Structure 1
């Protein structure tokens, strides 16, 4: 059955991919800055009341992890207050809210992949505000699905780890990359495809919190090595000759990051009936598209 879908954050890495993935599931209304401002609650309320969607997808967030440490109020407005408003309006409209969250709600002290039910303990303002957004959604009792993901990169957008590495690799002979933070690199397109697959399944029975990433694990150093190996095979211009592994303490940042944030994804795999593809294979496909597009 065709649905009316309101997509917030349509210009982001995941939002751009969602625009293409959602077309077959109904009428898609896209909203992004400057048309809508998540820091201005009235614009959110107006958008939902005017469009009366059956499904609301929030693909927008304050994602500048380090900058959030000096802009906590803005991060809170976008990551915590805005989701609360979306959930309140979704409940009034009897709409289903899909909200994207993050692995940064965990502290990284685990030695096994995080389950949806594991205790949260964010280390940064970004993680704290994203967790606050999750909790606000749950407390409204709106029909919702919270999808935590991690280490997102995409074909669209100017800034993500893959594109940063390619830029630096074309400028420098040596790059230093952190090797003691472990996670699962995840292509934005796969997140979008997963959300699209969930649209026809939405019901009170599957409401709740889920984890989704590409399969496999890596450090940022491993990820960087793979980026350059794949890029060179595709003929991408690479100048870098040495990638030096360093520790987090050697590369201090304003925000603390979890040292281990691998997410267990069996719950969503059971719902969808399939498992996520491996991160290395998806990286290869993304880089092929970058090369073709120039």
Structure 2
């Protein structure tokens, strides 16, 4: 096995994966958007943010579920879908497409034997038509999602460990209850709540179960109603037509470069070719 240490090599693997996802989505008429730092990179750099080491995309829930159904049955020679719906032991409430030629070991979820270089795929859900209620809904989903993640992962893998002893005990009890009930059953309970509102019928939307999951994620659906093509590393991929509003919500003055000390990759782990 050869370790992948050069950022450019990692970005090349991810770009090839994104091209294949784009091809599948276009073929099956699945809506997707470049998201987060990937969209920021497309707008500000016409490609990767120079120090970025991952790709994020997002899909309306209906399209996300169609994508999971297609990819979980598709025998692709290189790429494999990981999702809580179809992957035993997978702890996250969003999907990943991984390059099976590679092996990735992260600090979080290091026991996931199927993990390789990946692209994160976040579902976008409806939050309803009233902003205040949409915010309350978003926060409840974030709490449910966090409990599932923490129960699924080992205690020593949880980032930002709770320092307060009382809160530690509450979290430990909640996580223990989820483990007794079962991760998948808790996920299905969360999804019943999530699906009470739909993307198409909501004024407000958010990537509640996968993205940053904070107030900045809440946005009016009108900014995502239409897709536009945008250049990324010399290729064309889809972005929301209202990308300016979305990026402003997330980053403020998104065209302003961060200070040099913050220009670092966000993920930790080791990667090898198998």
TM over 0.5: no
Give TM-score scaled by structure 2 length.
Answer: 0.29
Higher relative contact order structure (alpha carbons within 8 Å, sequence separation ≥ 6) = 2
